[in-house]
Amino acid sequence: MPAVPFTQHISQNARRVPEWLVYTLGVIPFFWIFWLCLDGRLGPEPVKELEHRLGLLGLQFLLASLMITPLMRYGRINLIKFRRTLGLLGFTYVLLHFLTWMILDLALRWDEIGADLVKRPYIVVGFVAFLLLIPLVATSWQGAIRRIGPKAWGRLHRLSYVVVILGAVHFVMQEKVWERESLLYLYLALGLVAMRVLWVKRL
Amino acid sequence: MWKPDLTRADVTPKSAFLNRRQILAGGAAAMAMSPGALQASEELEPTELKLIRTYNNFYEFGTGKDDPAKYAHMLTTSPWSITVDGLVDNPGTYDIAELIGDIPTEERIYRFRCVEAWSMVIPWNGFELNKLLAKIGVQDTARYIRFETLVRPQEMPGQQRGIIEWPYREGLRLDEAMHPLTLIATGIYGEPMANQNGAPLRLVVPWKYGFKSIKSIVRISLVADEPQTTWVMQNAREYGFYANVNPNVSHPRWSQASERVIGGGFFAGRIDTLMFNGYEDQVASLYEGMDLAEHF
């Protein structure tokens, strides 16, 4: 039997992995955090811890979904089937992050929530990123591509580039000093988007 | 005469404290039985010692809230010397025992409000800063006091990175420093100060955001001009020299109208932040005629 290239091996096996399995794996962090909550292991300020972990997971999944195409281009690894799965998981965590902030952190103090959403730059940036995800989620089903046409669909989904940059900027902006971790996420987001710009320019 | 609203009589013994928490957790019925208990739960339930020791901002040990508890054991606090200089009668470098050993300590239960909009109630052990100032001998030309934290990167891993310009420094106007609410604290809950809380001695200014209450002090200077302070140096748009707790003046990145009480759990929500952190009656006169939105 001829040796199958390693990358092809991954791609072939990945094709056999059902989407639901990835969703299931994707919600494991949620249940893990939920368990830590119940067990009182989220530290002295569990609400903030929950909020931050959910937000970070959201950003991580969104960035992961943007790594699928470069993996195919440069690594010849085809995981395209899971791009949407990762994106939707990202949105779910971002939504939970937003709800945690609104319900548990700000305790539905609407005056403060309203003021924060329009006045505090880092919250505005995060909120805009969240809003921009909504049309992407709304057009994430197969039929949507046919409905609006693949070209328009592709253009619309370029919003995801804006979303990851805004998401990472939101992470950096809420720090009180420059932090390595959040800056690394920003560089990663910028790198993934810069790749797309280069691809378009070369065409 | 000044009287704090949280007095010695309000102190909950540490052993009884956990029991009472459980009773209170049992529901409003338990509280309704006694108006005293209700008042206690609203006004001054001191934060659990464990929380006071595990949720800290002390960037000398790292920027994570749990970093100080993780790394502060590396710090040697004995011997400890403090340099006193500037416009004072008795300048010099003193061993801590020599400088403060003869000043009797007392317990003060204060609200502690971080600029990040969280709060605790802390039973400090310490003495009024003015007692130390009397010993040091403040000269007439002094208008401000300036403090510095230890710089020792080999024992304070956060200092191995240039996240802020070390040493951490803070300052007060002299009348703020002389105010009877302003403390030098050496302990919490009757126990010696944990390293992560600023051992062996720190400042406590309960009507100001927590970052003013500088930890692990090694230098005290009396000066004529407003000193540079760390967070103003870091970001003058967001942090001011005064840093008085004020629910009406937002931080540019978040509201200061309310705060999360540490230890409240998941559904505790927030409480309204009080003007001057609840010490308005005692300190408002210090700022008469000042625009607090400008001098934030």
Q: What is the pLDDT of residues A91-121, one digit of tens each?
A: 999 999 999 999 999 999 999 999 999 999 9
What ipTM does this complex have?
Answer: 0.85
- Confidence at residue A18, expressed as pLDDT on a 0 to 100 scale: 87
Q: Which residue has the higher pLDDT, B194 or B35?
A: B194
How far, in Å, are A92, B15, B25 from residue B31 at the CA level? Answer: 40, 19, 9
- Confidence at residue A200, expressed as pLDDT on a 0 to 100 scale: 84
Residue among A110, A90, A69 at smallest CA distance from A167: A90
| Cβ contact A116–B252 (<8 Å) | no
Kindly report the nearest CA distance between residue B142 and chain A, in angstroms: 32
Is the pLDDT assigned to residue B38 strictly greater than 70?
A: no
CB atoms within 10 A of CB A199: 12
| Cβ contact A116–B255 (<8 Å) | yes
pLDDT band of A3, cuts 50, 70, 90: low
Tokens 């691809």 locate to A199
- Confidence at residue B1, expressed as pLDDT on a 0 to 100 scale: 40
| Cβ contact B63–A177 (<8 Å) | yes
Residue among A101, A22, A112 at smallest CA distance from A64: A22
Is the pLDDT assigned to residue B40 strictly greater than 60?
A: no
Share of chain A above pLDDT 70, in %: 98
Q: Which residue has the higher pLDDT, A36 or A15?
A: A36
Q: A7-11, A147-151, B44-48, B214-218 — which is least confidently predicted? A: A7-11
Query: Strand locations in chain B, DSSP E?
Result: 81-86, 92-95, 106-113, 118-128, 144-149, 169-173, 183-188, 191-192, 202-204, 217-223, 258-261, 271-272
A179 interfacial to chain B (CB closer than 8 Å):
yes
Distance separating alpha carbons of residues B113 and B266, to the nearest angstrom: 19
Mean pLDDT of A132-145: 94
What residues in B contact A112, CB-CB < 8 Å? Answer: 255, 257-258
pLDDT band of B41, cuts 50, 70, 90: very low
Nearest CB neighbour to B164, from listed A47, A105, A177 = A177
- Confidence at residue B6, expressed as pLDDT on a 0 to 100 scale: 57
Q: Are B124 and B110 in contact (CB under 8 A)?
A: yes
Q: Are A29 and A52 in contact (CB under 8 A)?
A: no
- Confidence at residue B5, expressed as pLDDT on a 0 to 100 scale: 57
- Confidence at residue B43, expressed as pLDDT on a 0 to 100 scale: 66
- Confidence at residue A203, expressed as pLDDT on a 0 to 100 scale: 62
Interface probe with A: pick from B66, B209, B250, B266, most Cβ of A within 10 Å: B266
Q: For A158-202, what is each residue's pLDDT tens digit?
A: 999 999 999 999 999 999 899 999 999 999 999 999 999 998 887
> Closest residue of A to B262, CA-based?
A45
What residues in B contact A111, CB-CB < 8 Å? Answer: 257
Three-state DSSP state, A26: helix
Considering the entire predicted model, what is its pTM? 0.85
Q: For A50-91, what is each residue's pLDDT tens digit?
A: 999 999 999 999 999 999 999 998 888 888 889 999 999 999
- Confidence at residue B165, expressed as pLDDT on a 0 to 100 scale: 96
